[in-house]
Chains A and B, each alone.
Chain A
Amino acid sequence: MEQKHIISTLVQNKPGVLAHVAGMFAARAFNIDSLTVGRTEDPSMSRMTIVVIGDDRVVEQVRKQLAKIISVVKVQDFTGQDIVIRDLMLISVATPPEKRSEILALIEMFRGKVVDIGPKFVMVEIAGPENKIEAFINSCRPYGVKNVVRTGTVAMARYGRKRAD
């Protein structure tokens, strides 16, 4: 069954690693939904969180092919694990004067934060799992969404049964 899988990958913080990973996905015709890279607590390592769409067999191949890349240090498939998932979005929403308070209430409801105010728009920062982010975008559409920037998904396993790392 095709579904989204979150794969958390620890890689060496070296030039060319991102190209290697991205190239492997392209060469093997795997589907990336999102990919984020950032430093970790260890400056020599980066963390890539990759969301892939595919059935179990495809995702198993993705995991194995990632592990095969020499600069990839560790690969974890978070499928079925108890994890915290976050996506960060900056969104610019139109604010016609008569709707302003309505929009602010909506932002409040989604626990968003207004980070910039212009004469016709507000910029809102909002974090959460993907469905929350998407629900917020949909709720804003009637007012007018000017611009959306998203980080893509990051995830970490919860402490408890199956700890990350």
Chain B
Amino acid sequence: MSDNTISTDPQSSEPIRKPGSQIILDTLIELGVDTMFGYLGGVILPFFDKLYDSPIRFINPRHEQGGTHMADAYARVTGKVGVMVATSGPGATNLTTGLATAMMDSVPIVAMTGQVRTELIGNDAFQEADTTGITRPVTKHNVIVKDPSEMGRIIREAFHIASTGRPGPVLIDIPVDMQVAQVEVTSPEKIKLPGYASRTRGHSRQISTAAAAINESERPVLYVGGGVIIANASEELRKFAQKAHLPVTMTLLGLGSYDQTRAESLDMLGMHGAAYANYAVQECDLLIALGARFDDRVTGKLKTFAPHAKIIHIDIDPASISKNVHVDIPVVGDAKTILSELTKQVEHRERKKWFSRIAEWKSKYPLRYDTAATTIKPQHVIEEIYRRTKGDATIVTGVGQHQMWTAQFYKFNRPRQFVSSGGLGTMGFGLPAAIGAQVALPGELVIDIDGDSSFNMTLGELATAVQYELPVKVCILNNGYMGMVRQWQELFYGKRYSCSWLKNPDYATVARAFGAVGITVEKKEDVAAAIDKMLGENKPCVVDFRIDREENVWPMVAAGKSLDEMDGLDIFESMA
């Protein structure tokens, strides 16, 4: 017990009192927190002082944004709540990108920020920012502590809100006087969240209606989003899809929910999805959306999306249903229980015609690239990584072309294997997220497949990886461009490459300066050996692959086009 804790003789009736900072820590430990990420500052020092004697494993990122991405990826790979702490003002504002990233992808995070003394709030005090005001739109919920006796309850509520229903980040703003104030220790107060109850069991009549529609369907497609992974329902999904015999396509965040090496997998759909997935969606007579939200990158032009399909939408968030697309059979609830219920009610159907149509598309329009090229093709690097890791690594990405190529060419076989910023598309997510994942998965292989520009945004976190001996691997698909932006400029702005070029540092040298291993690969024939060398390292390692500079991601559904209006398929045909 630390100095500030006033303990009393157990015989006496004097209440036990502890400072708010100790209550924070005790509550975190009671909630099972064993790992935290965060950065110091003046008004959060009382908490850090208590942390000094605690068993919690603490990781200092080099920037609060990095810390939130670490907590985020920690949560994505474990399913637990990621915890982040920062100081007021600039510490808090640095959290916003990470919170928004987690919000868009429904990731449970609890972030705590210090705040100036209560009596100074509103006075433009040093390092004061309206943290709850700034973070309100990028959190599921936020709250400022105004009474230290509520500290324990507020923290318990934050964890409950972050991790239940549709998960998301919750921020608690804690003025420094609340951390110092002596609080009477009482038995844990129950959480008080009137009106917050999410439906978990789907409506049974809706489930039967859905099952009947599935049984009747000649050309069904299952469209699976990240919700299935969040709900830990991959096993239920497998049983359901196999019993009813349904082809399965996934969103970027849905990757890993269904084993892509299985024949029913149609891989990813959408703007850079597989042609066979997009064609199947456009021709299906029944679309079963599971924990997905009909994002514009998935649907293309809404008016012509799945034009022949009746739509079933299963989601825990009622607000996602009929938001973008009219849904015929909504089922609100937890994917896991609904899928098990559905599985009981569906019949196995061969659907020979439909599956042979799909097989035709698959053989006519597989995901392809120029394997004969003498330059290093990014897709080739990813296929090599896939082969050499036996498809088993946890893969993290930045945002851009490399992210799409990774989604296309690494075949994921288990949930929580793929970690990427989908909804917000946050460049700079890759390295810190890989670190967060590695913290959660000691001894396992975590690879960040990154872009040169994305990596440059947060590469200071290499220092974090080195300090905590986290042997993350970074494979930079270095095209010397903001490649995805350059691709749009090539296609839609007459090849006017306005400002999409950056002079990069030599990343291998940079890595070595941080104390990591750095490798540069300039020739195609060196790709495999470099990957093997990387996999043999037990230190953080950066491999800089100098790829073909103007390679594009195909196929592509241009913004505003229908899903079946894909560009780039002719490029594939010429390679056949």
Interface residues of A (CB under 8 A from B): 10, 12, 15-16, 19-20, 23, 27, 57, 60-61, 64-65, 67-68, 70-74
- Can you name 10 A-B residue pairings with CB atoms under 8 Å? A10-B195, A15-B144, A57-B322, A60-B322, A67-B195, A67-B318, A70-B141, A70-B196, A72-B195, A73-B195
Contact A23 to B319, CB < 8 A, known contacts A15-B146, A74-B195: no
Q: Does A70 lie within 8 Å of B140, measured CB to CB? A: yes
Residues of B contacting A67 in the complex (Cβ-Cβ under 8 angstroms):
195, 318-319
B484 to chain A, nearest CB (A): 26
* Among B132, B161, B195, B323, contact of A61 (Cβ-Cβ < 8 Å): B323
A interface secondary structure, majority: helix
Q: How many residues of B contact A (CB 8 A)?
A: 20
Q: Does A19 lie within 8 Å of B195, measured CB to CB? A: no
Q: Does A64 lie within 8 Å of B319, measured CB to CB? A: yes
Residues of A contacting B132 in the complex (Cβ-Cβ under 8 angstroms):
16
Residues of B contacting A70 in the complex (Cβ-Cβ under 8 angstroms):
140-141, 161, 193, 196
Q: Does A20 lie within 8 Å of B161, measured CB to CB? A: no
Q: Does B137 lie within 8 Å of A61, measured CB to CB? A: no
The 8 A CB mask of B124-154 against A (1 = contact, 0 = none) is 0000000011001100111110100000000
Which residue in chain B gives the minimum CB-CB distance to A16?
B132
Which residue in chain A gives the minimum CB-CB distance to B133?
A19
Which residue in chain A gives the minimum CB-CB distance to B161?
A70
Q: How far is the CA of A20 from the CA of B133 in the complex (A)?
A: 9
Whether, in the assembled complex, B317 has its beta carbon less than 8 Å from a beta carbon of chain A, the answer is yes
Q: Does B319 lie within 8 Å of A12, measured CB to CB? A: no
Whether, in the assembled complex, B194 has its beta carbon less than 8 Å from a beta carbon of chain A, the answer is yes
User: Besides A61-B323, A65-B319, 13 other CB < 8 A contacts?
Assistant: A12-B195, A15-B146, A16-B132, A16-B142, A16-B144, A20-B136, A23-B136, A23-B137, A27-B137, A57-B322, A67-B318, A67-B319, A72-B195
A54 to chain B, nearest CB (A): 14
Which residue in chain B gives the minimum CB-CB distance to A11?
B195
Q: Does B322 lie within 8 Å of A16, measured CB to CB? A: no
A104 to chain B, nearest CB (A): 48
A57 to chain B, nearest CB (A): 7
Q: How far is the CA of A74 from the CA of B322 in the complex (A)?
A: 21
* Among B142, B144, B146, B319, contact of A68 (Cβ-Cβ < 8 Å): B319
Contact A73 to B323, CB < 8 A, known contacts A15-B144, A16-B132, A23-B136: no
* Among A20, A68, A74, contact of B317 (Cβ-Cβ < 8 Å): A68
Which residue in chain B gives the minimum CB-CB distance to A12?
B194
Q: Does A73 lie within 8 Å of B146, measured CB to CB? A: no
Residues of A contacting B142 in the complex (Cβ-Cβ under 8 angstroms):
16
Q: How far is the CA of A61 from the CA of B323 in the complex (A)?
A: 7
Q: Does A19 lie within 8 Å of B136, measured CB to CB? A: yes
Residues of A contacting B133 in the complex (Cβ-Cβ under 8 angstroms):
19
Q: How far is the CA of A60 from the CA of B140 in the complex (A)?
A: 20
B317 to chain A, nearest CB (A): 7
Name the residue in B136, B146, B161 with the highest tally of chain A Cβ atoms < 10 Å from its Cβ: B136
Residues of B contacting A16 in the complex (Cβ-Cβ under 8 angstroms):
132, 136, 142-144
Residues of B contacting A65 in the complex (Cβ-Cβ under 8 angstroms):
319
Residues of B contacting A73 in the complex (Cβ-Cβ under 8 angstroms):
194-195
Q: How far is the CA of A163 from the CA of B161 in the complex (A)?
A: 31
